[in-house]
């Protein structure tokens, strides 16, 4: 039986629009909300927002089975292709699209680069299941991406935002980030949920068993990511009333390069894998892992480094709004390609 998107996931784009509208309404009718928000801030960290961002990252990381990694490295061809697509081609492609479409708007350009550097560890399981991919391989690739993100995200942000633009002579690009600040953000917003997910998985499987963990615990915590994301969006948009008039055009500016990125990455990945004679189930796992992005991490880092009001954080919110409908169409494309080339 062909799996279907769960109700919450199927209408994610709608929930994001409703969260934006709710935030705008709160900001308009309750202007004092900014004072409440500021009162709950310690230093530069908004405490409710920080809790929301960490909760947003916890469920996908609690689902990752790191015991699959040794098995993953045995299939060197598939793992090598996946690493190349994710950490070289994918990051370079998003950087190129950001430069091409947004070089005159460096804040949005930075936000898009942050998304490109955050490789997918959450929704890819959903897309892979829908496309009849190899779930175990998808899980292995997600585990691999999780480890790589912990190790490399700070360096890649420094490289793609501070170094490459100046080397390429992008005079209009005047944004820089501190590698120290990004590292701190990654340790907080990826490190804390990473270790919480790892420890809870280890402890609960040991006490309750793997079947209970996958069939009872994981379904219970999965919606937390969406709720935390929507909470973040409501809070962001309640504080961005002055920017709302520009919203439709800004969504379009960010959405176009994202759509192009998703389409190019998927078809490039699929046909590279096909040329290497990789079976369909593994092909789809690699293709969807390379195509999706970890918007939760990009949003967390953007808010932490540039602030909740920042254009970079706004770009992060637009990401899942665009991703869901496009990836649903790419799932259909994948199943069509399976019939055409793997019948």
Q: What is the pLDDT of residues 268-307, one digit of tens each?
A: 999 999 999 999 999 999 999 999 888 888 888 888 888 8
Q: Across the chain, what does the average pLDDT equal?
A: 85
User: Using an 8 Å Cβ cutoff, are 113 and 173 in contact?
Assistant: no
Summarize the confidence of residues 69-83 as an average pLDDT: 83
What is the structure's pLDDT at 241?
52
Domains and CATH numbers, the chain: 33-338 (1.20.1530.20)
Cα 39-43-46 angle, rounded to 5 deg: 55
**Token reading at 60:** 């996908």
Question: What is the per-residue pLDDT across 168-181, written as a single tens digit (0 to 9) for each?
Answer: 877 556 677 787 88
What is the structure's pLDDT at 217?
94
Question: What is the per-residue pLDDT across 126-138, written as a single tens digit (0 to 9) for each?
Answer: 888 889 998 888 8
Question: What is the per-residue pLDDT across 188-233, written as a single tens digit (0 to 9) for each?
Answer: 888 888 899 999 999 999 999 999 999 999 999 988 888 888 888 8
Closest by CA to 270, choosing from 131, 74, 146, is 131
Rounded to 5 degrees, what are φ and ψ at 46? -85, 120
Residues in the chain: 343
Bigger pLDDT: 139 or 259? 259
Provide the H-helix boundaries in the chain.
7-10, 12-29, 33-39, 47-62, 69-72, 76-84, 91-102, 106-117, 124-130, 135-157, 164-167, 179-186, 192-208, 210-212, 218-238, 247-275, 280-291, 295-306, 311-341
- Please give the span between the terminal C-alpha atoms of the chain, in angstroms, as a whole number: 18
Quickly tell me which residue has 């004092």 as its tokens: 32
Closest by CA to 58, choosing from 229, 221, 219, is 221
Confidence of residue 149 (pLDDT cuts 50, 70, 90): confident
Residue 32, pLDDT > 80, answer: no
What is the structure's pLDDT at 249?
80
Cα–Cα distance list, 181 to 24, 54, 187, 282, 309 (Å): 30, 17, 10, 37, 18
User: Using an 8 Å Cβ cutoff, are 136 and 161 in contact?
Assistant: no
Specify the 3-state DSSP secondary structure of 186: helix
């Amino acid at each position: 039986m062909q799996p279907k998107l769960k109700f919450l996931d199927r209408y994610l784009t709608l929930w994001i629009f409703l969260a934006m509208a709710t935030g705008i309404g709160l900001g308009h009718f309750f202007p004092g909300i900014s004072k409440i928000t500021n009162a709950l801030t310690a230093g530069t960290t908004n405490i409710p927002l920080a809790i929301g961002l960490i909760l947003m990252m916890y469920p996908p990381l609690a689902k990752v089975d790191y015991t699959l990694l040794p098995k993953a490295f045995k299939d060197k061809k598939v793992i090598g292709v996946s690493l190349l697509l994710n950490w070289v081609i994918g990051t370079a492609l998003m950087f190129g699209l950001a430069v091409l479409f947004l070089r005159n708007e460096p804040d949005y350009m930075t936000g898009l680069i942050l998304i490109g550097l955050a490789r997918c560890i959450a929704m890819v399981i959903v897309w892979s299941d829908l496309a009849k991919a190899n779930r175990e391989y998808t899980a292995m690739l997600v585990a691999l991406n999780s480890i790589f993100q912990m190790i490399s995200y700070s360096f890649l942000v420094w490289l793609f935002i501070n170094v490459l633009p100046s080397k390429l002579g992008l005079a209009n690009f005047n944004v820089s980030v501190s590698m120290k600040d990004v590292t701190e953000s990654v340790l907080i917003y990826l490190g804390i949920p990473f270790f919480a997910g790892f420890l809870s998985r280890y402890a609960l499987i040991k006490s309750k068993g793997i079947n209970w963990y996958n069939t009872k615990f994981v379904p219970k915590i999965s919606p937390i990511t969406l709720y935390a994301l929507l909470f973040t969006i409501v809070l962001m948009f309640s504080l961005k009333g002055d920017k709302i008039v520009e919203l439709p055009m800004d969504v379009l500016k960010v959405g176009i390069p994202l759509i192009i990125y998703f389409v190019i990455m998927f078809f490039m990945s699929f046909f590279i894998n096909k040329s290497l004679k990789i079976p369909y189930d593994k092909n789809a796992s690699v293709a969807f892992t390379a195509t999706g992005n970890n918007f939760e991490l990009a949003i967390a880092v953007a808010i932490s480094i540039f602030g909740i009001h920042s254009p970079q954080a706004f770009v992060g919110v637009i990401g899942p709004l665009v991703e869901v409908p496009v990836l649903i169409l790419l799932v259909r494309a994948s199943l069509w390609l399976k019939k055409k080339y793997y019948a």
